[in-house]
Amino acid sequence: MSHPARVAEAFVLTETLLGLVGGASAVLLYLAFAWLSHFTAALYGLALLIGFGIGLEIPLLLRINARWRSDLKDNVGDVFALDYIGALAGAVVWAFVLLPWFSLDKISLFLGLANLAVAGATLVAFWQQIERRLLVIGVLAASVAGLAGLTLAAPGLVTDARQRLYADPIRHHVSSAFQDIVVTGAGQRFSLYLNGHLQFDSEDEYIYHELLVHPALMALGRPPRRVLVLGGGDGLAVREVLRWPSVERVLLVDLDPAVTALAREYEPLVRLTEGALLDARVSTAAPQGVSAGPTVPVEKAGESLRDTLLGLREHVADVQLLHLDADLFVRHIPGEWDAVICDFPDPSSPDLAKLFS
C-alpha cells in the first residue's frame, strides 16, 4: 500500500473511531455511573481513547496536506490555523446552541454522527487513493448503523440509568440550561432533586421553610409589607411569606426559569405551595440593569360560603419573578425591602459560598 493511501485510510478510520466512541460516550457514562462501582475507570478509559484519536488527527492532516503545502512551516500554519478557528466555532456552538437546548446524551450522539459524516466525506474525497475500500466502507457502515441504533435506544437507556440513582420512582424529569431537575415519589409524597441533590421532601419541608421565614419576619417588630426572596424557585418560601396578611409585595429572584415553571405548572407542587406562584408573571432581567417586572396580584378564594358561591376572591399580595443570579441581583436591588429571605443550597462551592457573604 502506498504512503498516501495509508495516510488517507488511517484518517478515515480515526474519524470513524472518534465518531463511534465519542458519540456513544455520554450514554455509556450514564450506564457506567448507574451500574458500575468503579465509574471512574470507565470515565478515564473513554477519555483516554478519545484523546488518543484526537492526538492522531493533526499528524495525519499534516501528512495529507503536504501534497499541496510542501513547505513544513506553511503546512503547520495552515492546519493549526484551521484547527484553532474550528475550536473557537465549536466552543461557541457548544455554549450557545447545544448545551442550552439539548441533553448531553443527544449532543454526543449528534457530534458522533457529524464525525462519521466527516469520515464519509474523506472517504469520497480520497476514494482513488484508498486501496482497502471494502474494509473501510464496512467499518464506517457498521459504525453508522451502531450509532444510529444507539440514538434510537438512548432515551430508554438513559431513563433506566437515571432511575437506578433514586430509591423512589421518577415522576417528572426535565433538563434545563442550568441543572437536571428530577421529581421522585409514590402516592401523595414526593421529593425534588436538583443535579442529584435533594432540594426538599414534601413530608417534612414545612419544618425548614417555616423556620426560614417566620423568625425573620417576626424579628422585624412591625408587620412586613415588602419581602425579597433570593433563591427558592420552588415557591415554598413564598408560600410561608404569603401567610402574613400584611405582606403587599414579594419579589422572588431565582436563576432557573425551569424551577419556577415547575412550581406553577406541576400539579403536586402547586398544591404543596398552595398556588403561591400560580398567578405570578415571569419577568426576565439582564444582570447589568435590574428592574422590576410586570406585577400580577396573587389572590385566594374567599373563606365564607357567600364568597365561594359568588366567586369572590381576596387579594393576598403582588408577586414578581426575576430570573438571574442572586449574586448579580443584589448589586442592583431596586427599591427597599422589609426583609430578605435567602433560600440557598449549602455553601459547598465558591459560586454558592459567595451568596452567604
Q: Residue 167 and residue 171: Cα distance in Å, rounded?
A: 12
**pTM score, two decimals?**
0.71
pLDDT score, position 343: 87
pLDDT score, position 293: 46
Whole-angstrom distance between the N-terminal and C-terminal Cα of the chain?
A: 67
Q: Which of 135, 119, 113, 127 is nearest to 12 (CA)?
A: 119
pLDDT score, position 228: 87
Angle at 301 between CA 297 and CA 307, to 5 degrees: 125
pLDDT score, position 323: 61
If pLDDT is split at 50, 70 and 90, which confidence band does 277 have? confident
Least confident of 74-78, 166-170, 304-308: 304-308
pLDDT score, position 275: 86
Q: Does the active-site annotation cover 204?
A: no
Q: Residue 183 and residue 163: Cα distance in Å, rounded?
A: 11
Residue in 327, 343, 346, 351 annotated catalytic: 343
pLDDT over 50 at 305, yes or no: no
pLDDT score, position 47: 93
Least confident of 18-32, 66-80, 182-196: 66-80
Q: By the 8 A CB rule, do 7 and 28 touch? A: no
> What is the tens place of the pLDDT at every residue in 212-271?
999 999 999 899 998 888 888 899 999 999 999 898 888 888 888 899 899 989 999 999
For the chain, what is the radius of gyration of the CA atoms?
28
Residues in the chain: 357
Region 336-351: what's the mean pLDDT? 76
If pLDDT is split at 50, 70 and 90, which confidence band does 310 have? very low
- Helix then strand count (H, E) for the chain reads 13, 10
If pLDDT is split at 50, 70 and 90, which confidence band does 288 have? very low
Question: What's the helix, strand, coil split of the chain in %, to 5?
Answer: 55, 15, 30
Higher pLDDT, residue 283 or 154: 154
pLDDT score, position 104: 84
- Which cell is 92 given? 461557541
Q: Residue 200 and residue 306: Cα distance in Å, rounded?
A: 37
Helix (H, G, I), strand (E, B) or coil at 205: helix
Q: Residue 91 and residue 104: Cα distance in Å, rounded?
A: 15
Q: By the 8 A CB rule, do 181 and 192 touch? A: yes
> What is the full DSSP assignment across 77-99?
HHHHHHHHHHHHHHHHHIIIIIH
pLDDT score, position 351: 60
- Which cell is 248 given? 403587599
pLDDT score, position 185: 95
Backbone angles phi, psi at 243, to 5 degrees: -70, -15
pLDDT over 80 at 4, yes or no: no
Q: Residue 14 and residue 44: Cα distance in Å, rounded?
A: 19
Share of the chain above pLDDT 90, in %: 43
Per-domain boundaries in the chain = 3-162, 203-356
Task: Indicate the average pLDDT of the chain.
Answer: 82
Superfamily for 203-356? Answer: Vaccinia Virus protein VP39 (3.40.50.150)
Helix H or strand E encompassing 194: strand 189-194
pLDDT over 80 at 324, yes or no: no
If pLDDT is split at 50, 70 and 90, which confidence band does 289 have? very low
> What is the tens place of the pLDDT at every residue in 131-147?
888 999 999 999 999 99
pLDDT over 90 at 307, yes or no: no
If pLDDT is split at 50, 70 and 90, which confidence band does 105 have? confident
In order of 76, 130, 132, 287, 326, the CA distances from 12 in angstroms are 20, 10, 12, 46, 49
